[in-house]
């Protein structure tokens, strides 16, 4: 009787039928959302602090490396062709290719240079040298952590070089200096007109309250005097783009609004997602650190479960190269970087990865690269990696989360010398079905489940997860 009435309404009153079905489906979503989050958590999203990003970002971990050289002064003597600024020493890409640094930066592109802060001290030490700045600038100068986000904002706006990493370098004399590993810009001084147009773009960002100029002389300072801007503005030889290379004159303004804009733009491009009126209308597929916007999935909560499995399996992500197949916006990859992964390379659709790059950079992740391609079981992952990554695949980690059901198993997994895999199945799959899929992977490359479990985060139903080790299980 029910099915007959349903078919009759669908045929005779199609508009009413589809509206009614839409309302029914939406009600199911709202009820599920209410059960998952609870009333209080839903209400909190509308009163969350816009300063949330200040405590959560940058998300990526910052490491300290010890090098076999006496001091920063000795390093400068070994490489006398460095460039000196008011607060920094800059070394060309050649130094990062030497054995002294190579093991620490083996995943970094060969085009990266090294900028070391003159003032000794770790990540929480102010940027300016004590004898090179006035007290007002010292008080206003951004922290190194904030400058990670400033660099990312300028790069996202096509105004600055790409930052690849920020580390603390400890020399043999015990001194510690913060170092920026960033894109080397080889170029020339722009024309007066080009420079003036560029400065206007920076001023536009400031007028939108995305950034704040903290130089006490303002735009009259020699750092902004066209066309050279005290050597800070270069026209890149290859791209012809103008890039401002020293960004310590800038701090962040209303970064919450800027981050929200990046996240919402990415949400429209990335797969999945829903609408929930209880969630305030459109909401994200994945929660973005630093924002109060709720989402269908919570990478932070997800990773807590995976971290327990990693500990139980006695394996770790620290210092590992991660290949993330189906990375979406890269937010699980961001959790890997927070955990101390050395480098993340993500694969996803061509229309998704430009937004993934912006999101990752905007939350303070820099140790990553991305490839946009049509994912399938026959796709080659290796051919899309840089030579640095290809040469260091031994012992890498595969992230294969909720993607197998869309593309199957990538056959090339049998050729990649991965140590272990973080695996997540799909909704409505039971343990028996999940283990059968892993048997199919074992046919490609001998492997075995070390630990397994279930995950249920944010607004999703339980999914099977496992840590899978390469090689046959020991008896």
User: Which of these ranges, 99-103, 170-174, 224-228, 321-325, has the smallest mean pLDDT?
Assistant: 99-103
Q: Could you give the CA distance from residue 331 to residue 366 in angstroms, rounded to a whole number? A: 13
Angstrom distance (rounded) from CA 443 to CA 63:
39
Averaged pLDDT, 206-231: 93
Which pLDDT band, with edges at 50, 70 and 90, does 272 fall under? very low
Q: What is the pTM of this model?
A: 0.87
Residue-wise pLDDT tens digits, 31-40: 544 454 455 5
Percent of the chain residues topping a pLDDT of 70:
84
Pairing relation of β-strands 88-91 and 187-188?
unpaired
Q: For the segment 339-361, what is each residue's pLDDT rounded down to a tens digit?
A: 999 999 999 999 999 999 999 99
Q: What is the pLDDT of residues 419-457, one digit of tens each?
A: 999 999 998 899 999 999 999 999 999 999 999 999 987
- Write down the mean pLDDT value for the chain: 88
Q: Which residues of 153-188 are buried (b: 16+ CB within 10 A; e: fewer)?
A: bbbbbebbbbbbbbbbbebeeeebbbbbbbbbbebe
Cβ–Cβ < 8 Å for 322, 344: yes
Report the pLDDT value the prediction gives residue 283, as an integer from 0 to 100: 58
CA distances from 120 to 8, 151, 177, 284, 408 (A): 78, 21, 5, 42, 51
Residue 141: the pLDDT is: 79
Q: Are 262 and 289 in contact (CB under 8 A)?
A: no
Answer yes or no: is pLDDT of 401 > 80.
yes
Q: Are 179 and 116 in contact (CB under 8 A)?
A: yes
Query: Lowest mean pLDDT: which of 135-149, 180-194, 393-407?
Result: 135-149
pLDDT at 114 over 60: yes
| Helix ranges restricted to H, 190-250 | 192-207
Per 3-state DSSP, the chain is made up of helix, strand and coil in percentages (nearest 5) of 40, 20, 40
Q: Give the residue among 322, 306, 279 at the shortest CA–CA distance from 416.
A: 322
Whether 64 shows a pLDDT value over 80: the answer reads yes
The pLDDT tens digits for 22-60 are: 566 556 555 544 454 455 544 554 445 678 899 999 999
Cβ neighbours around 358 below 10 Å, total:
22
User: Which region among 116-125, 393-402, 454-463 has the lowest average model confidence (pLDDT)?
Assistant: 454-463
| Domains of the chain, CATH where assigned | 57-252 (no CATH), 295-470 (3.40.50.150)
């Amino acid at each position: 009787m029910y099915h007959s009435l349903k078919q009759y309404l669908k045929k005779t009153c199609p508009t009413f039928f589809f509206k009614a079905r839409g309302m029914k489906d939406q009600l199911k979503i709202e009820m599920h959302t209410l059960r998952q989050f609870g009333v209080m958590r839903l209400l909190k999203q509308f009163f969350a602090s816009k300063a949330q990003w200040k405590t959560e970002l940058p998300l990526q971990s910052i490491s300290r490396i010890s090098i076999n050289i006496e001091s920063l002064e000795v390093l400068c003597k070994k490489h006398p062709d460095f460039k000196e600024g008011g607060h920094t020493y800059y070394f060309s890409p050649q130094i990062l290719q030497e054995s002294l640094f190579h093991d620490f930066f083996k995943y970094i592109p060969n085009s990266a240079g090294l900028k070391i802060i003159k003032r000794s001290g770790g990540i929480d030490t102010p940027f300016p040298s004590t004898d090179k700045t006035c007290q007002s600038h010292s008080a206003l100068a951004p922290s190194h952590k904030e400058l990670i986000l400033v660099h990312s904002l300028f790069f996202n706006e096509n105004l600055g070089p790409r930052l690849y990493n920020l580390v603390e370098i400890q020399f043999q004399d015990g001194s510690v200096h913060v170092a920026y590993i960033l894109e080397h810009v080889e170029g020339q001084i722009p024309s007066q007109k080009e420079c003036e147009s560029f400065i206007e773009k920076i001023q536009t960002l400031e007028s939108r309250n995305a950034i704040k100029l903290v130089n006490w002389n303002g735009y009259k300072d020699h750092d902004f005097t066209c066309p050279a801007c005290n050597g800070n503005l270069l026209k890149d030889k290859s791209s012809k783009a103008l890039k401002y290379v020293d960004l310590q004159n800038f701090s962040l303004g209303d970064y919450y609004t800027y981050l929200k804009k990046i996240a919402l733009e990415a949400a429209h491009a990335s797969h999945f997602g829903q609408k929930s009126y209880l969630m305030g209308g459109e909401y994200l597929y994945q929660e973005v650190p630093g924002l109060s916007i709720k989402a269908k999935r919570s990478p932070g909560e997800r990773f807590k479960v995976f971290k327990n499995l990693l500990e139980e399996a006695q394996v770790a992500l620290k210092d590992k190269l991660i290949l993330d197949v189906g990375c979406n916006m890269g937010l699980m990859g961001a959790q890997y970087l927070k955990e101390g992964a050395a480098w993340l390379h993500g694969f996803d659709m061509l229309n998704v990865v430009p937004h993934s790059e912006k999101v990752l950079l905007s939350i303070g992740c820099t140790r990553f690269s991305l490839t946009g391609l049509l994912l399938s079981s026959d796709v080659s992952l290796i051919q899309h990696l840089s030579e640095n990554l290809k040469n260091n695949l031994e012992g890498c980690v595969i992230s294969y989360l909720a993607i197998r059901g869309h593309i199957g198993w990538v056959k090339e997994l049998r050729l990649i010398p991965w140590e272990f895999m973080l695996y997540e199945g799909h909704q409505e799959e039971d343990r028996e079905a999940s283990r059968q899929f892993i048997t199919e992977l074992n046919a490609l490359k001998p492997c075995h489940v070390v630990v397994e479990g279930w995950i249920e985060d944010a607004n999703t139903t339980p999914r099977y997860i496992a840590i899978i080790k390469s090689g046959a299980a020991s008896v």
